[in-house]
Amino acid sequence: MIDIHTHIIPEVDDGSGSFTESLNMLKIAENDGIKTMVATPHIFSSAGKMKEIEKFRNIFSDFRERVINSGSSVEIISGGEVYFTTGLSEKLKKFRDIITINGGDYFLLEFPPGFIFPGSDKFIFNILNEGFIPIICHPERNIVIQQNPGILYGFMMTGALSQLDAGSFRGDFGSDASATAYKLLKLNMVHMIASDCHNEDKRIPGLSFIYEKLSGFEKEKIDMFLKDIPDAIIGNRAVPDIGIIENPNVKRSIFQIFKKQK
């Protein structure tokens, strides 16, 4: 499995507090069957401690080297969790190699938990035209999307992807986030599930439990969420087709419901 969203680099944000903690997190991931982790520290948000983005180049390569030297089998890939902020388009162009996933076109886009800023749809449209592909992080945890998943549907119709946090399916972020996670899954509004791990004790790495948690769901689809789509993103390739995304605001007719159940 590939974990596309992690706070594994120590002392750069509210994630891992030390290299020892990072090693313990890597051990947990390794035991869970995770082969690759994308390091996605908070960027441009108050949770990020590093204000000079340029420094990430060295911090990342030093960390990656230390992990290799530690003997861990988990491969570390570069990335960032990019906060929706003013002038983001310019910042993305300037720091593309540092904050997109593996220096490619895809990047994790984070909204604050309580807002979707006006103009977000226009930003997504424009940034796609600039050659970037935003992956909306944990939309199920956003209060506005919880109340109106149609907003996420609009982003996805424009070309954004959607990444849910594994913990949401376990109720780690409350019942609203959990209910929204299952709802988005039902509407086919999910491309990836990631751990968004922050530490070795409370928000730990681990994705394998998703297979049990979603045991009633097609296994091939879960493989897509945890392996195939993240692999395409790291390789900067087009992601496999997830099928038709359903519009949450369109009520299906009795005939359509019947047809789907057949």
Amino acid identity, position 225: F
Q: What sign has the CA pseudo-torsion 11, 13, 16, 22?
A: negative
Interface characters, 69-88, with Fe ion (x: CB under 5 A):
------------x-------
CA 111 to CA 85: how far, in whole Å? Answer: 9
Chain Cα centroid distance, residue 220: 19
Among the listed residues 226, 238, 241, 195, the one whose alpha carbon sits nearest the alpha carbon of residue 105: 238
Report in angstroms how near the CB of residue 159 gets to Fe ion at its nearest: 22
The residue from 3, 13, 21, 196 that contacts Fe ion (CB under 5 A) is: 196
Amino acid identity, position 253: S
Which 8-state DSSP code applies to residue 18? Answer: S
Residues with Cβ within 8 Å of residue 98, at least 6 apart in sequence = 53, 54, 56, 57, 60, 78, 80
Q: What sign has the CA pseudo-torsion 25, 41, 237, 119?
A: positive
Report in angstroms how near the CB of residue 110 gets to Fe ion at its nearest: 7
Interface characters, 3-42, with Fe ion (x: CB under 5 A):
----------------------------------------
- CB nearer to Fe ion: pick between 156 and 197: 197
Contact 214, 203 (CB under 8 A): no
- CB nearer to Fe ion: pick between 81 and 200: 81
- CB nearer to Fe ion: pick between 48 and 248: 48
CA 254 to CA 237: how far, in whole Å? Answer: 39
Report in angstroms how near the CB of residue 99 gets to Fe ion at its nearest: 13
Interface characters, 130-169, with Fe ion (x: CB under 5 A):
----------------------------------------
- CB nearer to Fe ion: pick between 38 and 184: 38
Report in angstroms how near the CB of residue 103 gets to Fe ion at its nearest: 19
Report in angstroms how near the CB of residue 145 gets to Fe ion at its nearest: 16
- CB nearer to Fe ion: pick between 32 and 246: 32
Residues that bind Fe ion (CB under 5 A): 81, 196
